[in-house]
Chain A
Amino acid sequence: MQNKKRLLMVDDDRDFVAAVSCYLEANGFTVFRAHDGAEGIRLAKLERPDLILMDIMMNERTEGFFTIHEIRRDPALKSVPIFVLSSFCTRLPDFEIPSSGGWLAHDMFFAKPVDVAQLLERIRQRLGKAA
């Protein structure tokens, strides 16, 4: 159990976080939860997660793009993979974000609501077998 992969989930909808993180935990991940961008930045620096799941349109304080920018400014976090989970674009269910403009290869976009099985598979692909 020592080698569990660690995920950070940043989303201001607590119900969304509760559902998705529970599923990921049941599948062998450790999940840290943040409900706004500022808390996300703090937890990212503190816990150094293996991958971050990030909402974009958050009501309170820091929104997602700014949060991502802040997290990646930290040298220790500059190559942490980020999966964007957002409902601002629902036409494409998921895609790899082209690695330009600060995005890394294999950063991904997922439309909400997410297909959790698909999300799990993509996280495992990205991190190697977690559990």
Chain B
Amino acid sequence: MSEFDAPERVVVIDDDYAMRLSCGKILAKMGLPAEIFEDGARGLAAVAAAKPAMVIVDLKMPGISGMEVISRVHEIDSQIIIVVITGYATIDTAVQAMKCGAYDFLPKPFSPDELRLIVNRGLERRRLALESQRHEVEQTLLKRRFVTFVSHQLRTPLVAIHQYLDVLKHLDQTADDPLRRQEWLDRCLTRIDELQNLIADWLTLARVEGGTLIRERVKVDLNRIISEILKTYRETAAAESVSLEDRLPGECLFVCGDRNCLSVLFDNLITNAVKYNKAGGKVTVSGARSHGEVVISVTDTGIGIPEKCRPFLFDEFFRVQDDGAKKTAGTGLGLHISKRIVSEMGGTIEVASEPGAGSTFSVHLPAWREPDRDAGSQNDAEQEAITDGR
């Protein structure tokens, strides 16, 4: 946003010549462009024109009073930080200035350091306010776009199902064909599945974002989890003429995490490797322990991911669109969810890919560390008791 790119300008309004001049000099040394004015009218005109980050104003001036300057400045822009200078530093005037919206006040005489301190503090406060405002705007925009996108995603399969049923109803009288009828009903069921998957993925995502997906942090053997997933994919893979190769080591690969989440994670990666493969292709899953990490790699011999798409691969709703890509159903959320899960568990996920040849997704997760004193025990309750006892 422009507020962040533009240098922060300061306007100084003081009828005392020496005072405004030295303020201007100190500010210039701080790298802040400052404009100095001898009365409220000229100062306010400059504020309206330049929208500075800060106004430093003397309370007691001929013409427009300092108090009035404060309220007029905030009419122009309520985000401008106002610091008042006063020669009669009584609690009363200070409180009154604060009530009018001044951020802080400087009693005369003050040292350059005092001015610097107060200016820096004021500008920092403004930055924070602007940032949180910007964050809010971004969130609102994102939410609005999300709603539009989601309703389109939900509506599309519903429209298709509606249209099939509507046409089937109309065709009854003219040209009924039992084969076509069967095919269309199958398509309706497929589109309903698509909707179910979409809703399931959104729910998973909402749970990851809300921090409620990861329910436990226990000792989990990835070897076992992944072997089980591979078993469930044998049939699907065979139907797509893709072979699955289990190259996991003979030993257990223990990490600390949530069994359910880890299943979702590797299920996503293996589904993708099968889905975006070629007929006669292969999916290889390998695993190893190194440097306190467990690394699992899922490699496919599929269509690969164009380089320009890789930076966005883990973004919400991103889907690779390429002329060579076959039509594949998907919600565009699988990899986003996977990345969120990996990050939640303190790990990383990366991809290497060669278009036309295939891709490898590697997940690095911190390996499980046995609590120090019980080398042999596998009893979770016992381990917990020892940890808690310390």
Which of A's residues lie within 8 Å of B, judged by CB?
13-16, 18-20, 22-23, 26-27, 57, 59-61, 87-88, 112-117
Contacts and interface: CB of A to CB of B under 8 A. Distances in A.
B180 A22 contact: yes
A113 B180 CA distance: 20
A116 to B, nearest CB: 6
Contacts of A117: 170
Interface string B329-372: 00000000000000000000000000000000000000000000
B57 to A, nearest CB: 52
Nearest to B187: A15
B201 to A, nearest CB: 17
A57 B164 contact: no
Interface string B177-210: 0001000100100010000000000000000000
B162 interface: yes
Contacts, number: 59
Given A18-B187, A88-B152, 17 more contacts: A13-B156, A13-B159, A15-B161, A19-B167, A19-B184, A20-B167, A23-B167, A26-B171, A26-B174, A27-B174, A59-B319, A59-B321, A87-B156, A87-B159, A112-B155, A113-B162, A116-B167
A57 B158 CA distance: 15
Contacts of B91: none
A115 B159 CA distance: 11
9 contacts: A13-B160, A15-B191, A18-B184, A18-B187, A19-B163, A23-B167, A23-B171, A26-B175, A113-B166
B160 A15 contact: yes
A116 B170 contact: yes
Contacts of A88: 152
Contact of A15 (B163, B175, B180): B163
With most chain B CB atoms within 10 A of its CB, the pick from A13, A22, A116 is: A22
B170 A20 contact: no
Contacts of B180: 22
A27 B164 CA distance: 16
Nearest to A15: B160
Contacts of A112: 155, 159, 163
Contacts of A59: 319, 321
Nearest to B153: A59
A61 B162 CA distance: 26
9 closest pairs, A vs B, by CB?
A: A15-B160, A113-B162, A19-B163, A19-B167, A26-B175, A112-B159, A23-B167, A19-B164, A113-B159
Contacts of A20: 163, 167
Contacts of B162: 113
B152 A57 contact: yes
B167 A22 contact: yes
Contacts of B163: 15-16, 19-20, 112-114, 116
B329 to A, nearest CB: 11
Interface in B121-159: 152, 155-156, 158-159
A22 B165 CA distance: 12
Nearest to A59: B321
A22 B171 contact: yes
A13 B156 CA distance: 8
Given A22-B180, A26-B175, A59-B321, A16 B159 contact: yes
Contacts of B152: 57, 87-88
A46 B184 CA distance: 30
A15 B184 CA distance: 8
Interface in B60-79: none
A116 B169 CA distance: 11
A107 to B, nearest CB: 21
Nearest to B165: A19
